[in-house]
A and B are shown apart, each in its own frame.
Chain A
Amino acid sequence: MRQAGAYFLAQLKRAARLLPGQILADMIVCVCVGALACLLIAQGAASAEGSRYRIGMVGDLSDSYLGFGIAAVQEMDDSRFMVELVPMSEQEAQDAFLRGELYAVMRVPEGLMESVVYGKNDRLITYTATQGQQGLGTMVMGEITDVASTLVTCSQSAIYAMQRVLADQGRGEEIGRETDQLNLALINLVLSRGGFGDVEVLGYGDGLSLELYYFSGMILLFLLLSGLLNSALFAHGNGAVFCFLKARGVGAFWQILGEFLAYLLLVSVGLVMLCLPLGFGLERGLLGIPEWEGMGAAPFLAFLPVLFPAAVMFAAMQFFLFEAAEGIVNGILSQLICGIGMGYLSGYFYPSAFFPEKMRALGALLPSGAAARFVQAGALGKIPAAAWAAVFVWLSVFLGLTIMVRWSRTR
């Protein structure tokens, strides 16, 4: 027992030696994340003040009907609050897109209006909304263009059909006037299309707000990946030392316990380092979380103890990965892929509600999912027994497996 205590103290000293570097790295992470959060908040405030997605329009914009269409979208349509269409040259648009000043570039082909007027629709408006492969934003833009396309093609069909009826009746001379009238009627209907739905907002909020969801998700992601920061502690693992310790009466269980408790010190310091600026931000009202609005840092301080069981469970997982991975290289890479993979599946990046049913179920089963459920329930002030049990089970599993791996190494 005395030997085990001495081993624990030795591990504690090793961990303490890493602390200054770890604190420095934590501070860099906090600065990075803080700068990003400030930028996102500033962007959010700018959009709340009326800043819109700028879309560069290039190509043949000379047609007066097209000009009228763009003006109508800018002046009368509901989309005017979200989108700004900016006519510009191809080169200007390319440069602005590369600089990140445009959300997308739309190219109007030559003869588009003729093609639309004659119902051929063989000239497509092409748009580029991303430099790399498409993501969620581009796919949402695809939905919006589908909506716009449906509105235009259905109006076209109605007008051509009316024109055909008149032509069949031998009333060709009326086509121009009637087309203008029907066109106007349809444009009015398109502009007031929002009236098709009678919206009832129930205002139910038994879950977390998106802000608190991401706030807790970011803290959990930091805890999940903090193993990368503590990798130096595992850099000098030596099988011979473990066998020697065993011979001196410090078995696999005591070895792991001593090392794990010392490792927890690093994890706890990392958590405190992260929470300090968050608490400061909440106290000063820099971070807007609806559930904690106007309450300063007090609700966050009450929330802090909830994070600790999740931190201990993640520490056990990281410990197991380093122990099982044989070598620092494998340890780091498995930490990374497991951390990001689990974080993604459990909804730390996108809300898990975005995922298919089976993926959600898998994400909830993983340790990251158990931690998310636990912390989210804690944020709402009521942690069910099942959430406690899931965290405890994963903690026991990881510690048990780590002891088994060490035991098999020292045999």
Chain B
Amino acid sequence: MPGRMLVRFLLLQKRLLKRVSFLLMLCLAPLLSAGVGRLSGEPAGIATVALYLPEGDAAAQEISERLLDERGVLRYLSCEDEERARRMVETGEADAAWIFSEDLSERIEELAKKRRVRPVVTVVERQDSVPLILGREILCAAIYPFFSYAVYTGYVRDELGLAEMSDGALRRIYDSVAVEGSLFQMVYADETPGEAEDFTYVQAPLRGILAIWFTFVGLAAALCFMRDEARGVYGRIPVTRRLSASYTAGAAFLLDAALVLLLSCKLAGVFTNGKNEVICCAVFAACVLAFTNLLRMLCRTPRRLGMIFLPLLAAMLALCPVFLNLQNFRAGKLLLPPWYYLQSIHNTRYLYGMAVYTAILVLVSAVLQRVQSRSV
């Protein structure tokens, strides 16, 4: 029995790989991933900020370097004058302009002396929005190092009565005790640090897109099996054994698609580590195989199966964490294989969940197969 299944699997694989159009179709996924992966290296941001910083001012110079070198979620464009920065906002080239005072260093020192916060930057915005509120926090964080330093020097000279201390001496002491680095670290559920994976938000949805595509490969395989069945390709296999035949046929499709999925994740830049990826992908493939076969058995005709494609796609786009990460509809999410796969990459709990779900799907399919074969 397993020998026959293997022969059937190999014959189906040969039939698939001989079709140039199938191979070309498989190439579309890596092509999209490679394209987006490559283009995502360019500067991008959820908001564009035009920066005008006065020339020759040390603080301005450092703030400018800090912001322009940063690889965050905002994009900065340097402007030669204030008018240009304002014009960029007016014409829509930028969402906001940050126009720093001409005497930035002096102004910071003056305010630090009084220990007061007053505007040192004019923030020009087209419309207020969430990214720009975040931007203002980033702006404060860029100014604060100079401000806190000026507060320290002012405090030492005025409050401690050490007015004679030179700038050089104060700076040397400050540098000798300066605290660097972040106090926070993003970690995944499996304790992997966030910085272990280097990709941008432009690349982030690609794994989800590929997972949905992979599920549709399974659906297409189920459709193909139905057509073959109607043509009598499986006429010699008893109805009671059709389930294993459909699993073999689906596996032929999904094996190729799984290799493409792994390659595409690598090209997209969202690949984690080989062992983890292969295990998650293998369980996902089994889950998709069982899921699509159950749908095939429930729908019974290619036309009905075709009808559920769009609603299923809408459900997967809405409920799986591809573009949105909704906190509700947990019951709906539990039914979708891509949801388990996307969560399982850094959380073995979902990997086990996916395995259990696969077992349930196979069990339900087997029962349904028995019921349907009796009624034939």
* Chains A and B belong together in one complex: yes
A354 adjacent to B194 (CB under 8 Å): no
B205 adjacent to A344 (CB under 8 Å): yes
Binding stretch for chain A, among B52-60, B177-185, B238-246, B367-375: B177-185
A165 to B164, CA, bound (A): 13
Q: Does A305 reach chain B (CB closer than 8 Å)? A: no
Q: Does B67 reach chain A (CB closer than 8 Å)? A: no
Q: Which of A160, A164, A353 contacts B48 (CB 8 A)?
A: A353
B346 adjacent to A133 (CB under 8 Å): yes
Which B residues touch A210, using CB under 8 A?
Answer: 129
B159 adjacent to A181 (CB under 8 Å): yes
Binding stretch for chain B, among A3-11, A187-195, A244-252, A388-396: A187-195
B155 adjacent to A162 (CB under 8 Å): yes
Across the A-B interface, how many residue pairs have beta carbons closer than 8 Å? 383
Given known contacts A197-B121, A325-B25, is B306 in contact with A134 (CB within 8 Å)?
no
B219 to chain A, nearest CB (A): 7
Complex interface bits, B116-153 against A, C-beta within 8 A gives 1, otherwise 0: 01111111111111000010111111011101110110
Which A residues touch B201, using CB under 8 A?
Answer: 135-136, 139, 354
Which B residues touch A189, using CB under 8 A?
Answer: 115, 117, 147-148, 151
Q: Which of A143, A186, A192 contacts B148 (CB 8 A)?
A: A186
Task: List the B residue with the shortest CB-CB distance to A341.
Answer: B32
Binding stretch for chain B, among A18-26, A281-289, A368-376: A18-26
Within 8 A of B (CB), among A166-212: 166, 168-169, 171, 174, 178, 181-182, 185-186, 188-190, 192-207, 210
Which A residues touch B139, using CB under 8 A?
Answer: 196-197
Count of interface residues, chain B, beta-carbon cutoff 8 Å: 127
Within 8 A of B (CB), among A9-38: 18, 21-22, 24-25, 28-29, 32-33, 36
Q: Does A39 reach chain B (CB closer than 8 Å)? A: yes
A134 adjacent to B186 (CB under 8 Å): yes
Which A residues touch B207, using CB under 8 A?
Answer: 133
Complex interface bits, B91-114 against A, C-beta within 8 A gives 1, otherwise 0: 010010010000000000000000
Which B residues touch A162, using CB under 8 A?
Answer: 152, 155-156, 160
B186 adjacent to A355 (CB under 8 Å): no
Given known contacts A133-B345, A135-B325, A154-B145, is B151 in contact with A128 (CB within 8 Å)?
no
Q: Does B237 reach chain A (CB closer than 8 Å)? A: no
A106 to B343, CA, bound (A): 19
Q: Does A64 reach chain B (CB closer than 8 Å)? A: no
Complex interface bits, A131-152 against B, C-beta within 8 A gives 1, otherwise 0: 1111111111111111111111
Q: Which of A147, A165, A188 contacts B115 (CB 8 A)?
A: A188
Q: Does B352 reach chain A (CB closer than 8 Å)? A: no
Given known contacts A135-B321, A229-B306, is B39 in contact with A149 (CB within 8 Å)?
no
A158 to B150, CA, bound (A): 9
Q: Which of B19, B141, B224, B309 contacts A146 (CB 8 A)?
A: B141
Q: Does B223 reach chain A (CB closer than 8 Å)? A: yes
Given known contacts A131-B343, A192-B117, A326-B19, is B202 in contact with A359 (CB within 8 Å)?
yes
Given known contacts A99-B330, A129-B186, is B42 in contact with A357 (CB within 8 Å)?
yes
B209 adjacent to A341 (CB under 8 Å): yes
A144 to B326, CA, bound (A): 21
A231 adjacent to B28 (CB under 8 Å): no
Given known contacts A100-B327, A161-B152, A332-B220, is B138 in contact with A143 (CB within 8 Å)?
yes
Within 8 A of A (CB), among B151-207: 151-152, 155-156, 159-160, 162, 165, 170, 173-174, 176-189, 194, 197, 200-202, 204-205, 207
B152 to chain A, nearest CB (A): 4
Task: List the A residue with the shortest CB-CB distance to B128.
Answer: A201
B314 adjacent to A133 (CB under 8 Å): no
Q: Does B12 reach chain A (CB closer than 8 Å)? A: no
Q: Which of B40, B128, B138, B143 contacts A359 (CB 8 A)?
A: B40
Which A residues touch B162, using CB under 8 A?
Answer: 165, 169
Task: List the B residue with the shortest CB-CB distance to A202.
Answer: B126
B51 to chain A, nearest CB (A): 13
Query: In the complex, which of the residues B19, B140, B145 has the most CB atoms of chain A within 10 Å of its own CB atom?
Result: B140
Given known contacts A25-B307, A100-B330, A136-B201, is B141 in contact with A194 (CB within 8 Å)?
no
A134 to B187, CA, bound (A): 10
Task: List the B residue with the shortest CB-CB distance to A78.
Answer: B137
| CB pairs A–B below 8 angstroms (30 shown) | A18-B303, A22-B307, A39-B329, A125-B184, A131-B350, A134-B204, A139-B204, A145-B184, A149-B184, A161-B152, A164-B173, A178-B160, A185-B115, A186-B148, A196-B121, A198-B122, A200-B124, A201-B127, A202-B90, A226-B310, A235-B306, A328-B223, A328-B224, A333-B216, A334-B25, A337-B28, A338-B28, A350-B205, A356-B202, A362-B39
Q: A132-B343, A225-B310, A337-B32 are in contact. List 18 more A-B contacts (CB 8 A).
A: A21-B307, A24-B307, A29-B310, A101-B327, A119-B179, A128-B187, A133-B207, A133-B345, A148-B183, A157-B149, A158-B151, A194-B140, A203-B127, A330-B19, A332-B309, A337-B25, A340-B209, A356-B42
Residues of B within 8 A of A (CB): 19, 21-22, 24-25, 28-29, 32, 35-36, 39-46, 48, 72-73, 89-90, 92, 95, 98, 115, 117-129, 134, 136-141, 143-145, 147-149, 151-152, 155-156, 159-160, 162, 165, 170, 173-174, 176-189, 194, 197, 200-202, 204-205, 207, 209, 212-213, 216-217, 219-221, 223-224, 227, 270, 272, 302-304, 306-311, 313-315, 318, 321, 323, 325-330, 342-347, 350
